[in-house]
Amino acid sequence: MGRYVLRRTGQAALALLGVSIVVFALIHLVPGDPVRTALGTRFDQELYDALIARAGLDQPLLLQYWNWLTGALTGDLGVSFRTGQPVTSALLARLPATMLLAFAALFVGLLIALPAGIVSAVRQGKPIDYAASGFAQIGVSVPDFWFGLLLILVFARTLGWLPPSGYVSPLEDPVEAIRRLILPAVTAGVVTGAILTRFVRSSVLEAMSAEHVRLARAKGMPNRYILRHHVLRNAWIPIVTITGLQLATLLGGIVVVEVVFAWNGLGRFALDSVVRRDYPSLQGAVLLIAVIFLVINLIVDLLYARLDPRITAS
Amino acid sequence: MSGSAEPRAERDGDDHSEVVLSVRDLGVSFGTKRGRAEVVRGIDYDLHRGETLAIVGESGSGKSVSTLALTKLIPIPPGRVTGTAHLGGTDLLSLGEDELVHVRGRRIGFVFQDPMTSLNPVHTIGRQLTEGMRHHLQLSADEARDRAVELLGKVGIPSPERRLDDYPHQFSGGMRQRVVVAIGLSCDPEVLIADEATTALDVTTQAQIVDLIAGLQDDLGMAVVWITHDLGVVAGIADRVMVMYAGEVVEQAGAVELFGRPRHPYTVGLLASLPVLGDTERGDLAAIPGLPPGPTALPEGCGFYPRCSFRDDPRCATERPPLREVTPGHLVRSFYEVPEEVARRASAATRIAIEPPDARDEGVA
Amino acid sequence: MSAPQDPQDPREPQGTPDGQERRSDEAAPPPEERLQTADAPSEPRWRETLSALLANRLAAAGLVILLLLILAAVFAEVVAPYGFTDGELARRLEPPSGDHWFGTDELGRDVLSRVIFGARVSLQVGAVAVGISLVLGTLIGLVAGYRGGWIDAVLMRTMDVLFSFPVVLLAIAIVAVLSPSLVNTMIAIGVVFTPIFARVVRGSVLSVREDVYVRASRSLGASDWRIISRHVLPNVAAPVIVQTSLSLAFAILTEAALSYLGIGVQPPRPAWGLMLLDAQGFIATGAWWMSLFPGLAIFLTVMSLNLVGDGLRDALDPKQRSIIQSRGVT
């Protein structure tokens, strides 16, 4: 177990180093002078010089990287080309919104996928299985932003039950926060739920076909008991893994849903930075999201190892 | 046939012992896209207390299905089971799932082929050993645990108290199969079905498991059904042997009789294909050429006809041979018998298997 | 991102009648049979694969929809009732009618025609992007798997890094560097999907590399290229084909998302994602047809590709499921 944790953590650290290089390279791959491009028509020599100096763009490349990396490690991601404000504080201000949406979407996804996946596996080949599999097939093919638009069209514009967009912090107004959370969470949650449904179904089916389940039946254990202790208990392991990976995907990939619902999260921040050519902000956002993504993946793998006694022991 | 095989012969004739399981006209079929596949057809046998019945055949012969079907351990539908199977006073085949749950594991224990997959990797062996006892015998956790320790000791697992909380992957293949045997025995079943229970094991471990079950059987007085494709495995322990081919019984007799004077060409073929240690005379192993027919494409005449090297009767190709009694207790499904000297040559292998140097039958004698 | 024991391995049990009788003694082919399969590498049997694919009703339906879409895209000028820029301001924001089956947009352009021309953009971007990842990924996977050693380590660790980014985010970052355009969208998506192909190909190469026939040809002095083209590529083909169809679906979805975000295909090209971006501004006015039809087109295209991909996977390559990935598992 110890060696596995060490090896897996080492891998993640290596990937993280690679990620940092790619993110650092972003600003240097932009054709032309990124600061000049960013300032555009607002060009002002004084501001220009200050930004160049602050970003260290006048230094040798390796030194720049070193400074940027050590800065990032201590929480300093530079200042925005647009606002001159520290990128880190801007990111931290957006993080809660993204986390809230991602967890809410995962919750909706699991609410759909666990019953749908388990029932369709247990009733394999029955109408309910076809219904669940059909839902999953539709769900993985539907573009989430379109689904979001349709939800807005129906529930916000036509029926007027829910607000169409905007993020409100649950600390300020819990009721309004939840009302605004519902549509985006359902949008991202249905797609997540479809992906998870397929996975839960196949995991349960695989667990059901195991030889030890046959022995449990031959032992005379009741079906309900077998489902709980010999099928689901075993299927949990891959399901927990994939759920963790989905959370990582949601945290990193929820950009589109954030845009549909004008949700002030990290994804929308990253997109705005692209449009405004605010490269330090983009770098910061990409780095933060990639780090979250990697760390969750790492946690998932380690959790997997804990859940499976075979790995724990070896 | 003499020496150590003798006591078995006596038990063969022991008709007074109580019949535990009585199977009549057992049929199993599966609905498939190409019509119903008759996987098991018209099987009859009585299993006595303390007796060992070996069901032998190639994979696909229906030998496993015929026993799994007794407690509906096959998928139904598409499977369908017909006939009767009386265990004590009840016809198992008339029972529903709710009642069968109290038969499986309680009155009929099972040991399956592959110890590497028969145990659930995420539960301790203690848990897997006690769950059946707690369910069937309503034991408390402590009582079940005490009994589990006792059982593990019985099946030869050293320091059972300590091993109870280990996971399956911490055991070797042979040790795992001992655990599976312990599970099969845990509720004192009247019948233990060992379905290819040694096939996945190496030769030494095979012999250990065979001896273990035979020994426990004598202690506990249960009946054992050994299902195997390997006549060599059961040669030393079976009281009676039933040879199955394409879903039918082709030959059935007491072990000594069957190994000494096989009469069906398929049985002879199986015996001839057994390896014999130190035998240089027979040359290459004579494997039976060809494959058994599929359950949806049974030939019109004898099922074995396409692969048979005797075919001594014109009816073989066109008529299904009946199961006829050639000597008391010896049934053969063929129109003729394999000549005695051919049969003797073929069964040379089992002479060694039946007369093992370590005299397995001590307990009986 | 693979867990120790890959969770993507849904070997669904088949309800075979002899399910209970299937034992390892018959699962393992006898030695002679095994040698035979080793002599003749399991080249995809195209005819059997196609008939298996068509026998799968869902996959066949997907194939039909896909063919119709391709025809519509190729013959858009013929099929579409109007040009994609033809607008009649007097008839803007009209709901579906006999003249305009899918209604008109804010400039009075025919939504149906734009959806048809949009198929061309989507399929083009999808095909070129996946083409890029297919070529790059196959090359990288082949070299990494075949050469092994430090080359393998460097290449695959690089792929791991690309794999460490969420898909849409990486595409956004690439577009940010390259500036938004049709071609750059293709490049961005192409790069994003390269690691998956590299992994699939490398996995297949490793599994055949040590097989009997490759060892045999090597000892006979065959050149690397000959071994790769004769023995390795045919074995890699099946998983790559399956991955291609599933990646196409995801690539089209990603293109639509990027265009919707305004950083993909640029106007006046009629990309479905762009049309949805336009439509969002008119949801409040009740112009539901502007958002319904382009989205439906994306959905149908993606679903038909997914159905074909799933069908191909079942027909060609049931065991490769562990590596091949569709949407969701990044």
How far does B55 lie from chain C, in Å, by closest CA? 14
Q: Looking at A157-161, B208-212, C320-324, which range is the least confident one? A: C320-324
Q: Which two tokens stand for residue B75?
A: 């998928």
pLDDT tens, residue by residue, A16-73: 888 888 888 877 777 767 777 777 777 777 777 877 777 777 777 888 888 888 888 8
How far does B33 lie from chain C, in Å, by closest CA? 10
Statement: residue A142 has pLDDT above 70 = yes
User: Which helix (DSSP H) or strand (DSSP E) does residue B55 occupy?
Assistant: strand B52-56
The angle, 0 to 180 degrees and rounded to 10, between the axes of the packed helices C288-316 and C57-74 is 130
What percent of chain A stands above pLDDT 90?
20
Whether chain C has a CB inside 8 Å of the CB on B60: the answer is: yes
Q: Cβ separation of A212 and B73 shorter than 8 Å?
A: no
Statement: residue A314 has pLDDT above 60 = no
Q: Which two tokens stand for residue A146?
A: 């379109």
Q: Which residue of C has its CA nearest to A191?
A: C328
Q: Which two tokens stand for residue A54?
A: 């602050």
Q: Cβ separation of A219 and B110 shorter than 8 Å?
A: yes
Nearest CA among C180, B261, C3, C30 for reference residue A308: C3
Residue with the larger pLDDT of the pair B99 and C44: B99
Whether chain A has a CB inside 8 Å of the CB on B295: the answer is: no
By Cβ distance, the residue of C15, C21, C25 closest to B65 is C21
Q: Cβ separation of C17 and B73 shorter than 8 Å?
A: no
Q: Residue A250: which pLDDT band, with cuts at 50, 70 and 90?
A: confident
pLDDT tens, residue by residue, B227-273: 888 777 777 788 888 988 888 888 888 887 777 788 887 887 777 77
Using CA atoms, how far apart are residues A116 and A119, in angstroms rounded to an integer?
Answer: 5
Residues 6+ apart with CB under 8 A from B196: B64, B112, B113, B227, B228, B229, C23, C25
Q: Cβ separation of C327 and A297 shorter than 8 Å?
A: no
Statement: residue C319 has pLDDT above 80 = no
This complex has an ipTM of 0.85
Q: Which residue of C has its CA nearest to A25?
A: C177
Q: Which residue of A has its CA nearest to B73?
A: A218
Asked if residues B255 and B241 have their Cβ atoms less than 8 Å apart, the reply is yes
Which residues in chain A have their CB less than 8 angstroms from residue B131's CB? 219, 221, 225, 229
Nearest CA among B40, B23, B19, B20 for reference residue B85: B23
Statement: residue C135 has pLDDT above 90 = yes
Interface size, chain A vs chain C, as Cβ–Cβ contacts under 8 Å: 194
Mean pLDDT of the residues in chain B: 77
Q: Residue A188: which pLDDT band, with cuts at 50, 70 and 90?
A: very high
By Cβ distance, the residue of B39, B113, B196 closest to C17 is B39
pLDDT tens, residue by residue, B307-359: 777 766 777 777 777 778 878 888 888 777 777 777 777 666 555 444 444 44
Interface size, chain B vs chain C, as Cβ–Cβ contacts under 8 Å: 44
How far does B287 lie from chain C, in Å, by closest CA? 13
Which residues sit opposite B40 in a β-bridge? B28
User: What would the 3-class secondary structure string for C46-61 be?
Assistant: HHHHHHHHHHCHHHHH
Q: Cβ separation of A237 and B122 shorter than 8 Å?
A: yes
What percent of chain B stands above pLDDT 70?
85
Using CA atoms, how far apart are residues A153 and A146, in angstroms rounded to an integer?
Answer: 10
**Which three-class secondary structure state does DSSP give residue A272?**
helix
Residue with the larger pLDDT of the pair C291 and C108: C291
Q: Determine which of B40, B64, B76 to mutate to test the interface with C (most C C-beta atoms within 10 Å).
A: B64
Whether chain A has a CB inside 8 Å of the CB on B167: the answer is: yes
Q: Determine which of C20, C169, C288 to mutate to test the interface with A (most A C-beta atoms within 10 Å).
A: C169
Mean pLDDT of the residues in chain C: 75
pLDDT tens, residue by residue, C176-234: 788 788 888 899 899 989 998 998 888 888 877 767 566 666 667 677 777 777 777 77
Q: Which residue of C has its CA nearest to B67?
A: C20
Whether chain B has a CB inside 8 Å of the CB on A311: the answer is: no
pLDDT of residue C40: 39
Q: Cβ separation of A18 and C158 shorter than 8 Å?
A: yes
By Cβ distance, the residue of C17, C18, C24 closest to B200 is C24
Q: Cβ separation of C23 and B199 shorter than 8 Å?
A: yes
Q: Which of residues 36-95 of C touch A (CB under 8 A)?
A: 58
By Cβ distance, the residue of B114, B132, B180 closest to A220 is B132
Q: Residue A165: which pLDDT band, with cuts at 50, 70 and 90?
A: confident
How far does A141 lie from chain B, in Å, by closest CA? 32
